[in-house]
Amino acid sequence: MRQAAEKTGDVVGDGTSTSTILAHAILADGVRNVVAGASAIDLKRGLDRAARVTIDALHAMARPVNTKAEKAQVATISAHNDPTIGALVADALEKSAAKASFQSRNPRLSRPRSTSWKA
């Protein structure tokens, strides 16, 4: 479970509580089913199918974020509803010529900063 939480934090930067709860439920139910006689291989195949269905559903729900306001909204939510950080990220994304992403390694910055670069 620690690995699931760490990987979630590394990949998306948030959602560690959700991934930990899901990992625990999958592990607990998986062990219970295998102890009751279920095939571990069939269980793994079922989990793989469920993951594919979930990913496909998320892709179907996804929509592009194009405007600066939309970028600021997403960034604000990702920054724990901090509109200052959201605006800085949206501004930096608008200044970049290519698609870009940001990841904060230190969420406790004393003051936000914006960095410009050539894309």
Give per-residue pLDDT as tens, 10-43.
555 556 778 888 889 999 999 999 999 999 999 9
Q: Which residues of the chain have pLDDT under 50?
A: 110, 116-119
Cα 34 from Cα 44, distance rounded (Å): 11
CB 115, CB 50: distance < 8 Å: no
Can you give the residue ranges of every domain in the chain? 2-61, 65-119
- List all residues 6 or more positions away from 116 whose beta carbon is below 8 Å from its beta carbon: 92, 95
Predicted local confidence at residue 13, as pLDDT = 55
Cα 98 from Cα 96, distance rounded (Å): 6
Predicted local confidence at residue 104, as pLDDT = 60
Rg (the chain; Cα; Å): 19
